[in-house]
Structure 1
Amino acid sequence: MLHIAVGVLRRGSEVLISQRLAGKPGAGQWEFPGGKLEPGETVTQALRRELAEELGVEVLDHQPLMRLVHQYPDRTVLLDTWLVNRWKQEPSGREGQATRWCPVEALSTAGLLAADQPLVAALQWPACYAFTPDHWSANDLLSIRQQLATSAVLTRLRLPRLSDTAYRDLVLRLLDSGVQRLAVDRTEIDWAAAAAAERLILHLPGHALESAGSQAPAWAGGCVVSCHDQKTSQQAAQWGAQTLVIGSARRTATHPDRLPAGWSELRRLADGAGLPCYAIGGLTPRDLSVARRAGCFAVAGIRGFWPRSA
């Protein structure tokens, strides 16, 4: 397996991409700069060397974003991807390649290599994913709708106590209040008829894939699947999910008797998923850097993600 260090230079809401040269596989397509590790190199050493050679920049600040394995017809590559927030010198194509700054929201149509496509979701989706506690009511959510409307956090509305009608009405009220980042898990509701599907994300548990059809529905916001093993994560990727939730990293108060998978297992799942992964299990937003070192781009949870005790 080829180990590739990939750098995502970010400047505000834009990232730098470069065009593959003629004569190379994928010529003419765009990619995030980087290259393979040389014998004896660490990932960060390779990252610094490759960005200096390709772009003429000196990396000053970098942090892990995510890891993923991509299978080409003739080889397998591990993309070890890093966010680069500060550097010296203005980046330019030092090897004759074209470069350009691309808005993050335009990456989906930028003509990226297939191997780089999962990174788009990692850059576009929120870094924190908050699940509502089971005991919350509609009023609990409505009481903080203004905070939700201005929050960068993605919110999953579980709320098992609500009927489908009450659940649907709550979602529509939250959307009307300006809340934009909502994930729902009720497939029985006709969201298209409610003119809401284009503004929502669908979240499914892994076991629901068996009855979810041959491919993911065309929700504009995308689909996320909870997975706890490699078989399910591969099924979710083939089904068409954009992101996964994998766990659990640690023992949780919600499931105190369930043994956690641990960080090493999460890293194995994240590497093999081929999709951006949220880590879950006893985590808070403060665990983001730990999760990214384990190959996950983001964190999810319940108790540590709300402004009051859940």
Structure 2
Amino acid sequence: MKRVHVVAAVIRGHDGRILIARRADTQHQGGLWEFPGGKVEQGETPRAALGRELQEELGLQVEMARPLIRIAHDYPDKHVLLDVWDVSAFSGEPHGAEGQPLAWVAPRQLADYEFPAANAPIVAAARLPSEYLITPEGLESGELLRGMQKAIAQGAKLLQLRAPRGYDPAYRDLAVDAVGLCAGKAQLMLKGPLEWLGDFPSAGWHLTAEQLRKYASRGRPFPVERWLAASCHNAEELSLATQMGVDFVTLSPVQPTQTHPEAQPLGWEQATQLIAGFGKPVFLLGGVGPQQVQRAWDCGAQGVAGIRAFWPADN
């Protein structure tokens, strides 16, 4: 079956809300909500198709856009390649030129709308920021919490409370404080044994590669309303992450790092190849910082993750 190449747009308004459209009942996957877009015509570039489709469908002229994520998805009756773009600037007043209902939705509310199955990674990518802060080790609790508070004040939206010593009871106490610190301001990702999941219902969970190997065959350990991530280092672990139904991953190390000098870096080219076959948001980790965000986007990644490069100075 031939794969249909489609462009889709995550269109962001000045207030941060995202524009979605409802599919006509007569269409494939009719009645569901979608990110506006359409088929790439023969000989047309994805960027050109994006501009044409948004003009035809919504009356918009795209002024600023970048690739967000690419997803290959196989329905029983149709194979699609979704080429998704993040549109951050446009002119014109959007309207349903084909009569389709539109809605401006806050990113966190996207999960409340019913989309085609292929759109699940797009919803995740639209909701996630481009930077993922991982807390450093070796700090006492007060210093760690003050650093997290400062990072959130500076705009951090996704934070992982790292657990370098494994299943330490002191980590649980720290996690309670971190949950309170992030409430309503940032998404907190915790680590640790899955037996702790029920104790922190508002937090997401970041699995180690070891946990992936142990639990992937069991599938997702909690409902889709809660973030699930994993640490991956190769194609095998990315495959396990897919099997487990994670929402996003970190892929590392891209470059040599101080924390893991013995690890063989993937390099940008191999990282790009691994991302291309994955189809979910990927944060590149290891020897990268905020200045590499554009390069990560060029590789097909959601963005970059880091410890030292993202931790606020002078706590």
TM-score after normalising by structure 2: 0.87
Stretch deviating more after TM superposition (149-158 or 19-28) = 149-158
State whether structure 2 residue 271 is matched by structure 1 residue 266: yes
User: Equivalent residue for 1:295?
Assistant: 300
> Are residues 71 and 264 of structure 1, via their aligned partners in 2, closer, same or farther at CA, if it must alter by over 3 Å?
farther
Aligned mate of 1:252, from 242, 248, 257: 257
Aligned mate of 2:193, from 175, 187, 198: 187
Aligned mate of 2:127, from 124, 144, 155: 124
Runs (5+) with no aligned partner, structure 1 = none
> Are residues 62 and 138 of structure 1, via their aligned partners in 2, closer, same or farther at CA, if it must alter by over 3 Å?
same
Q: CA deviation at 1:149?
A: 4.6
Aligned equivalents of 1:268 and 1:200: distance in 2?
Answer: 31
Q: Deviations over 1:218-248 (max 9, x none)?
A: 2753210112233322322221211111233
User: Which letter does structure 2 place at the counterpart of 1:226?
Assistant: S
Aligned equivalents of 1:44 and 1:122: distance in 2?
Answer: 19
User: Equivalent residue for 2:164?
Assistant: 160
Aligned equivalents of 2:77 and 2:252: distance in 1?
Answer: 31
Give 3-state SS (helix, strand or coil) of 2:196's partner: coil
Stretch deviating more after TM superposition (62-71 or 255-264) = 255-264
User: Which letter does structure 1 place at the counterpart of 2:257?
Assistant: T
Aligned equivalents of 2:32 and 2:222: distance in 1?
Answer: 25
TM-score after normalising by structure 1: 0.88
Aligned equivalents of 1:41 and 1:259: distance in 2?
Answer: 39
State whether structure 2 residue 4 is matched by structure 1 residue 2: yes
Maintained 8 Å contact 2:289/2:309: yes
Q: CA deviation at 1:203?
A: 0.7
1:89-168 map, 5 Å: 89-150=92-153, 151-161=155-165, 164-168=168-172
1:47-58 map, 5 Å: 47-58=50-61
User: Which letter does structure 2 place at the counterpart of 1:172?
Assistant: V
> Are residues 4 and 106 of structure 1, via their aligned partners in 2, closer, same or farther at CA, if it must alter by over 3 Å?
same
State whether structure 2 residue 301 is matched by structure 1 residue 281: no
Maintained 8 Å contact 1:133/1:158: yes
> Are residues 304 and 145 of structure 1, via their aligned partners in 2, closer, same or farther at CA, if it must alter by over 3 Å?
closer
Give 3-state SS (helix, strand or coil) of 1:106's partner: helix
Aligned equivalents of 1:298 and 1:124: distance in 2?
Answer: 13
Aligned equivalents of 1:280 and 1:162: distance in 2?
Answer: 20
Aligned mate of 1:82, from 77, 80, 85: 85
Aligned equivalents of 1:238 and 1:49: distance in 2?
Answer: 36
Aligned equivalents of 1:189 and 1:159: distance in 2?
Answer: 15
Matched residue pairs, number?
Answer: 307
User: Equivalent residue for 2:177?
Assistant: 173
Maintained 8 Å contact 1:65/1:82: yes
Q: Deviations over 1:42-61 (max 9, x none)?
A: 22111111111211211111
Identity %: 36
Q: CA deviation at 1:145?
A: 4.2
Q: CA deviation at 1:186?
A: 1.0
Stretch deviating more after TM superposition (176-185 or 116-125) = 176-185
Give 3-state SS (helix, strand or coil) of 1:53's partner: helix
Stretch deviating more after TM superposition (43-52 or 160-169) = 160-169
> Are residues 178 and 45 of structure 1, via their aligned partners in 2, closer, same or farther at CA, if it must alter by over 3 Å?
closer
